[in-house]
Amino acid sequence: MAGPEKKQIPLRLSAKLYDAIASWAEDDFRSVNGQIEYLLTECVKQRKKNGKYRPEELDKEIELDI
């Protein structure tokens, strides 16, 4: 039985962020795409769980110390 259809999207990441995700993916025995899908899924689950959404925070630049 086939799983749900997956959409392909282009994604631009900084080299530092990509390297951090790739390292994490390797630790978890996943591909980089698999790790990104896992992270996004966990974020959506967390949002559904606590219902928090703060659109005013979306435009703020975040400092990634990676």
Q: What's the pLDDT at 1?
A: 60
43 lies in some domain: yes
44 lies in some domain: yes
21 lies in some domain: yes
pTM for this predicted structure: 0.66
The two three-digit tokens of residue 41, written as one number: 């899924």
The two three-digit tokens of residue 28, written as one number: 């978890």
Contact by Cβ (8 Å): 65, 20? no
User: With the CA atoms of 14, 58, 62 and 26 taken in that order, what torsion angle do they form, in degrees rounded to the nearest 10?
Assistant: -50
Give SS3 for 11: coil
27 lies in some domain: yes
Could you give the number of structural domains in the chain? 1
Q: Of 17, 39, 18, which is closest to residue 28 (Cα–Cα)? A: 39
Task: Kindly state the average pLDDT of the residues 57-64.
Answer: 63
Q: What's the pLDDT at 64?
A: 65
The boundaries of the domain holding residue 29 are 15-53
1-58 pLDDT tens trace: 677 898 999 999 999 999 999 999 999 899 999 999 999 988 888 777 776 666 665 5
6 lies in some domain: no
The two three-digit tokens of residue 51, written as one number: 């219902």
